[in-house]
């Protein structure tokens, strides 16, 4: 059964998130963007309102909500400020490897803390020298008895300067690439952990991004989220669950830009009429709506697949790169409708444009998403149509007129179809030999 309706609970959640976004996030977004700071109090209020960590399973004291609910919440927050939405959702990214881990005592220790106290947890695969290529992690995790000693630097870490806990991916042997990678839960106040200065960014400036350095940081064996050799696959599984949410950031930001553009177009007049009356503007608005709706459908499909226990990897990638690129187009078109005013800091569009530019970069660039989808198409995708050499592409004879038993041969090189008991000695079109012909239906 296909049903696009939200449940009453989901509609209620959407309403509450929308009210929170408009009341708490929107009034602060531009000020903190200008200051290049993350308003911690907003993250705390989001936590108090129960919007953070919504997907911690009930057995660890969480609400046990699905990814669809995360997508609903995130769209609303991103509509107000994509940067703050990133920082609010970052706890889900940081804790996801723990949720997926087999280390029960570790889950029982840390997951309830995220519910009971206002604690932030960040996620770190990226380093100064590697982002897309997660298998290229250099941060070292040297075994010391049953513990591990971390040395190295993580870079681009969202909420890294604010987080109490860190999910760190590191390798026992960087040369062995993905085979050496494990995941470790590190506490911010452990000896040897140093947080760098906030990285000055183009957009999403309300979201803290830093480098984190580890000097001989001892990780007790109890804090191993995934042992070496299992960290890479855990990171990939995490991304499959969090990438649809980048689609939700994109949907929310694009929806805002569209709404602001509709409002402006109705009010701005040129040549004696509102610009909303011009077809050139109307077509832009229609395409914005088309992209917002498509982005949401793809995002929700990825989230739904995850919630059904299916592997959401491919849909997650499609949703991520479609919605990220669509959002950039929508916000750019909105800026065109605002024209001169759109290019100023007095209106909301320039910030949205800077903010959405990031969506095609973090959690795997758009190129990486295309690689994942192409890999699926070329290796796993099940075609419904017959293979080319089996295609019943009759041009010279109506297949219904063929006598029973008539041989139909297709040249695998040029596609010529020959009728007879035997294939021709050579193809009359491409001159390839008899052996090139395949009997159709055989
Ligand atoms: C604001 C911000 C927040 C972030 N937050 C986090 C975080 O919380 N945790 C974390 O771990 N990381 C985080 N990141 C890092 C982010 O995930 C990486 O920036 C991203 O994965 C890309 O890596 P890179 O920047 O090293 O680019 P590179 O991997 O160096 O890629 C450079 C370019 O080459 C392209 N490319 C690479 N390989 C291929 C290929 N095989 N085929 C075709 N093209 C290719 C890429 O698409 C890109 O265009 C964040 C980044 C930013 C900017």
Host H or E run for residue 171:
strand 165-171
6 backbone dihedrals φ, ψ, rounded to 5°:
-85, 150
Angle, CA of 224, 97 and 106, to the nearest 5°: 45
State the distance from the centre of ligand 1 to the C-alpha of 135, rounded, in angstroms. Answer: 13
Q: For residue 71, report the distance from its CA to the centre of ligand 1, in Å.
A: 23
Residue 351's pLDDT band (cuts 50, 70, 90): very high
pLDDT in tens, 366-402: 999 999 999 999 999 999 999 998 898 888 899 899 8
Q: What is the pLDDT of residue 442?
A: 63
Architecture of domain 401-439: Single Sheet (2.20)
Note the Cα 230 to chain centre separation in Å.
22
Q: Is 363 a catalytic residue?
A: yes
Query: Which atom of ligand 1 is the closest one to the Cα of 122?
Result: 8
Considering the four listed CATH numbers 3.40.50.1820, 2.50.20.20, 1.20.140.10, 3.30.390.30, the one that applies to the domain covering 232-379 is 1.20.140.10
User: Is the separation of the CB atoms in 46 and 86 below 8 Å?
Assistant: no
Match 């297949």 to its residue by tokens.
399
Q: How confident is the model at residue 405 (pLDDT cuts 50, 70, 90)?
A: confident
Provide the CA 296 distance to its chain's centre, in angstroms: 13
Residues of the chain with CATH 2.20.28.10: 401-439
What is the model's pTM? Answer: 0.96
**Residue in 337, 328, 336 with CA at minimum distance from that of residue 262:** 337
133, 156, 235: which to mutate for ligand 1, most atoms within 8 A of CB? 156
Residue ID of nearest Cα to ligand 1 atom 38:
132
Q: Please report the atom of ligand 1 found closest to the CA of residue 154.
A: 11
Where exactly does CATH 1.20.140.10 map onto the chain? Answer: 232-379
DSSP classification of residue 37: -
| Nearest atom in ligand 1 to 133's CA | 29
| pLDDT for residue 395 | 85
Pocket of ligand 1 (CB under 6 A): 122-126, 131-133, 156-158, 201, 204, 209, 358, 361-365, 367-368
- The residue whose two tokens read 């992690």 is 137
Q: What is the pLDDT of residues 183-224, one digit of tens each?
A: 999 999 999 999 999 999 999 999 999 999 999 999 999 999
Show Cβ contacts of residue 253 under 8 Å, excluding neighbours closer than 6 positions: 78, 79, 82, 327, 331, 352, 355, 356, 359
CA of 367 to the centre of ligand 1 (A): 10
């Amino acid at each position: 059964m296909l049903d696009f309706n939200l449940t009453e609970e989901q509609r209620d959640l959407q309403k509450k998130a929308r009210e929170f976004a408009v009341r708490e996030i929107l009034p602060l977004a531009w000020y903190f963007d200008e200051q290049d700071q993350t308003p911690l109090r907003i993250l705390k209020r989001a936590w108090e309102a129960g919007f953070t960590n919504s997907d911690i399973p009930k057995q660890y004291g969480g609400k046990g909500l699905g990814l669809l609910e995360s997508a609903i919440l995130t769209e609303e927050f991103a509509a107000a400020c994509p940067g703050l939405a990133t920082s609010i959702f970052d706890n889900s990214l940081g804790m996801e490897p723990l949720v997926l881990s087999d280390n029960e005592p570790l889950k029982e220790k840390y997951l309830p803390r995220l519910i009971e106290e206002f604690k932030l947890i960040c996620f770190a695969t990226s380093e100064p020298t590697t982002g897309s290529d997660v298998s290229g992690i250099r941060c070292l995790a040297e075994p010391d008895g049953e513990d591990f000693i971390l040395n190295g630097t993580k870079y681009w870490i969202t909420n890294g300067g604010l987080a109490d806990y860190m999910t760190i991916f590191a390798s026992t042997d960087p040369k062995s690439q993905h085979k050496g990678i494990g995941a470790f839960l590190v506490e911010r106040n452990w000896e040897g952990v140093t947080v760098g200065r906030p990285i000055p960014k183009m957009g999403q400036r309300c979201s803290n991004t830093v480098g984190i350095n580890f000097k001989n940081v001892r990780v007790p064996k109890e804090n191993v989220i995934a042992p070496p050799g299992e960290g890479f696959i855990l990171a990939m599984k995490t991304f499959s669950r969090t990438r649809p949410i980048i689609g939700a950031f994109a949907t929310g930001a694009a929806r805002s830009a569209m709404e602001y553009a509709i409002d402006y177009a109705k009010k701005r007049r040129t040549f004696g009429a509102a610009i909303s009356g011009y077809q050139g503007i109307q077509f832009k608005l229609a395409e914005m709506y088309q992209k917002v709706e498509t982005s949401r459908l793809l995002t929700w499909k990825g989230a739904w697949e995850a919630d059904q226990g299916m592997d959401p990897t491919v849909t997650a990638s499609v949703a991520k790169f479609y919605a990220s690129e669509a959002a950039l187009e929508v916000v750019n078109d909105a800026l065109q409708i605002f024209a001169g005013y759109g290019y100023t800091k007095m209106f909301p569009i320039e910030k949205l444009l800077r903010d959405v530019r990031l969506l095609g970069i973090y959690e795997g660039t758009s190129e990486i998403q295309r690689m994942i989808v192409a890999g699926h198409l070329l290796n796993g995708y099940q075609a419904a149509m017959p293979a080319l050499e089996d295609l019943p592409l009759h041009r010279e004879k109506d297949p219904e007129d063929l006598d029973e038993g008539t041989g139909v041969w297709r040249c695998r090189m040029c596609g010529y179809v020959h009728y007879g008991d035997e294939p021709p000695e050579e193809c009359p079109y491409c001159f390839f030999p008899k052996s090139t012909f395949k009997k159709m239906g055989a």
